[in-house]
Amino acid sequence: MAKQKIEKTNVMRLLEQKKAAYTPHYYGDTEAIGGVEVAAVLGQDPERVFKTLVTVAASGEHYVFLVPAERELELKKAAKAVGEKSIAMIKAKELLPLTGYIHGGCSPIGMKKPFRTVIDESAAGFDTILFSAGKIGYQVETGLEELKKVIRFELADVSG
């Protein structure tokens, strides 16, 4: 596959602003939509490719979770991780007004406002992880130490 010139997304600009090392990945010239498909197109282990999920708790608070592409967010574990009684996925139509991102292009970096973010603890087992660069067709790869330069997050067992 020919090397595409990757256009910079706001996520990439924010990483650069904080001097956080990252590698951009482009898959926009494919039909890949799901995280597992994206991992396959990029030749990556789906356990290293994370999807960004936005939830709302019974309290009305919003939380962001990153889980490996081939796993699901376990809502009970997620609620426990953030000290809530229960949480649910937000409705797709609420995503853009809340975060500034569309479904399939949601990144934990650069949301309209910072939300408490929890990354599945499996991420600690990798030197780098991949997640959306804030636009469909783009992913960024970075290490957790680099990511800490840009957003606050915690690790917890939230997937199954």
**The predicted structure's pLDDT at residue 4:** 53
The set of residues, in sequence order, having a beta carbon less than 8 Å from that of 23 and lying 6+ positions away, is: 128, 140, 141, 142
Helix (H) or strand (E) holding 77: helix 75-81
**The predicted structure's pLDDT at residue 1:** 43
Domain 10-138 has CATH 3.90.960.10: yes
**The predicted structure's pLDDT at residue 28:** 84
Distance of alpha carbon 61 from alpha carbon 57, whole angstroms: 5
**The predicted structure's pLDDT at residue 119:** 98
Q: Are 32 and 85 in contact (CB under 8 A)?
A: no
Helix (H) or strand (E) holding 16: helix 10-17
Which segments of the chain have a pLDDT < 50? Answer: 1-2
| Per-residue tokens: 113 | 């406002």
